[in-house]
């Protein structure tokens, strides 16, 4: 991890979000500073915000080095004596007195006193198939773009010299604006319009979203057009706000979001069971919470008190959402 500091950026009516966040910081005694566009551009010359924008600076923001984090988690698990198995596609779960059996599609069986199921984008389809339990989520294919610095090298766009940022602005595609990170492993700042990708099924996602082509050419074309619209929207904001990077992405990548209707996580036991734990619904923001989610899931699985209150992450609260294929304009991060 590296501490970079972070900017929440907005203008016009959206600046009310900055005021709400500032009031929260003040109540919690968190260091912060309100800035004009001119102040941001002077202090962080990588930016070229137009007049009318405002920002709220918080110095404790940072970035996680995702690949290193995942490798470290595997190494730590192995150091504790955990048997790590990859490529295990869950086909069946049997709960017997004193044990839970998980069987793969290839017939391999894992046995334990309890079982934590965290299937990512397959949360809805897997729980429906295995347990006849409907958990409403929306799986979307989101696209991130990388914009390399210009060759003059006048400014440091890496995590050593540039903050992370969130932009609360109309991106033309939805109410959630943009998010961005400085350069880490890839030679370009990373940016995306948030929650704007097409809704997909993880087993049948289009080639545009990193999968095999859908049976319907119309569906494939629609998904491709929606992802291209996200790239265009992101590029417009980069072109108007970052004078020292290329105004076309060097490349882009897709990833899957699994969003609950209220964008909170799911972390609860399977109804009728005390030894099967379900975890998911990361809604695009769970990675940084991974250690806390893991601690809570482990506590539940071992029958111990959770270190955090989990009421807001219950399965029961999702029962009010019979179907979910969209996103609430009221959700704010």
Q: Sketch out the chain's domains with CATH numbers.
A: 2-63+138-259 (3.30.9.10), 66-83+90-137+261-320 (3.50.50.60)
Residue 333's pLDDT is 29
- In angstroms, the CA 321 to CA 324 distance is 7
Burial grade of 261 (CB within 10 A; 0-12, 13-18, 19 or more)? buried
Phi, psi of 259 (to 5 degrees): -110, 130
- In angstroms, the CA 150 to CA 302 distance is 53
Residue 327's pLDDT is 43
Which residues partner with 276 through β-bridges? Answer: 115
- Show Cβ contacts of residue 61 under 8 Å, excluding neighbours closer than 6 positions: 3, 4, 5, 6, 163, 164
- In angstroms, the CA 273 to CA 137 distance is 22
Which residues partner with 139 through β-bridges? Answer: 258
Residue 284's pLDDT is 87
In order along its 333 residues, the chain shows pLDDT tens digits of 899 999 999 999 999 999 999 999 999 999 999 999 999 999 999 999 999 999 999 999 999 999 999 999 999 999 999 888 888 999 999 999 999 999 999 999 999 999 999 999 999 999 999 999 999 999 999 999 999 999 877 899 999 999 999 999 888 888 889 999 999 999 999 999 988 999 988 888 777 777 766 657 788 888 889 999 999 999 999 999 999 999 999 999 998 999 999 999 999 999 999 899 999 999 888 998 999 999 999 999 999 999 999 999 999 998 777 655 544 333 332
DSSP state letters, 247-276: SS-SEEEEEEEEE-TTS--EEEEPTT-SSE
- Is residue 274 within 8 A of residue 268, CB to CB? The reply is no
Residue 324's pLDDT is 58
- Show Cβ contacts of residue 270 under 8 Å, excluding neighbours closer than 6 positions: 131, 133, 276, 277, 278, 315
């Amino acid at each position: 991890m590296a501490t970079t500091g972070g900017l929440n950026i907005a203008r016009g009516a959206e600046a009310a979000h900055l005021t709400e966040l500032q009031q929260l910081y003040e109540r919690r005694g968190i260091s912060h500073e309100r800035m004009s566009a001119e102040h941001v551009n002077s202090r962080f010359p990588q930016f070229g915000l137009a007049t009318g924008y405002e920002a709220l600076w918080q110095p404790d923001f940072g970035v996680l080095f995702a690949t290193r984090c995942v490798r470290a988690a595997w190494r730590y698990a192995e150091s504790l004596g955990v048997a790590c198995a990859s490529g295990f596609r869950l086909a069946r779960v049997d709960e017997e007195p004193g044990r839970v059996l998980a069987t793969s599609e290839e017939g391999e069986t894992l046995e334990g006193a309890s079982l934590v199921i965290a299937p990512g984008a397959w949360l809805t389809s897997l729980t429906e198939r295995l347990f006849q339990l409907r958990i409403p989520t929306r799986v979307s294919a989101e696209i991130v773009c990388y914009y390399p610095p210009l060759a003059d090298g006048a400014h440091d766009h890496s995590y050593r010299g540039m903050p992370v940022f969130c932009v609360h602005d109309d991106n033309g595609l939805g109410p959630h604006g943009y998010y961005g990170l400085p350069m880490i492993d890839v030679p370009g700042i990373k940016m995306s319009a948030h929650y704007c990708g097409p809704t997909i099924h993880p087993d049948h996602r289009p080639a545009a979203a990193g999968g095999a082509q859908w049976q319907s050419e119309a569906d494939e074309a629609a998904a491709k057009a929606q992802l291209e619209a996200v790239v265009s929207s992101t590029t417009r904001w980069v072109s108007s706000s970052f004078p020292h990077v290329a105004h076309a992405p060097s490349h882009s990548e897709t990833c899957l979001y699994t969003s609950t209707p209220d964008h909170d996580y799911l972390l609860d036991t399977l109804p009728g069971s005390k030894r099967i734990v379900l975890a998911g619904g990361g809604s695009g923001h769970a990675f940084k919470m991974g250690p806390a989610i893991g601690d809570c899931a482990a506590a539940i699985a071992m029958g111990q008190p959770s270190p955090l209150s989990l009421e807001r992450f219950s399965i029961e609260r999702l029962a009010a959402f019979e179907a979910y294929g969209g996103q609430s304009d009221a959700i704010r991060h």
